[in-house]
Amino acid sequence: MKAAKRAVNDLTLAEPAQVRSDAAVFQALVTSPEARKRLAHLSDRGLQTPGALERDLGSAVAEFHH
């Protein structure tokens, strides 16, 4: 079983350097002024709190007007 798991991981897991690169891109995007506006707007409406906004996050994001 361990050999099978190792084989699957070897085929599907990203290399650590790729993960770091993706994390850097994500960090740059999420700290952009536009993202900060969106996050503030969504936070004011209940982001990260159980409720309607969390249940229908896609609609809330789509409705955002800057």
Average confidence (pLDDT) over 8-21 = 85
* In a domain? residue 2: no
* In a domain? residue 53: yes
pLDDT value, residue 66: 60
pLDDT value, residue 49: 94
* In a domain? residue 43: yes
What's the domain range around 28?
22-66
* In a domain? residue 28: yes
Number of domains present in the structure of the chain? 1
pLDDT value, residue 38: 92
* In a domain? residue 7: no
Distances (CA, A) of 39 to 7, 14, 17, 33: 39, 28, 28, 10
* In a domain? residue 32: yes
pLDDT value, residue 17: 85
**Which pLDDT tens digit goes with each residue over 22-64?**
999 999 999 999 999 999 999 999 999 999 999 999 999 898 8
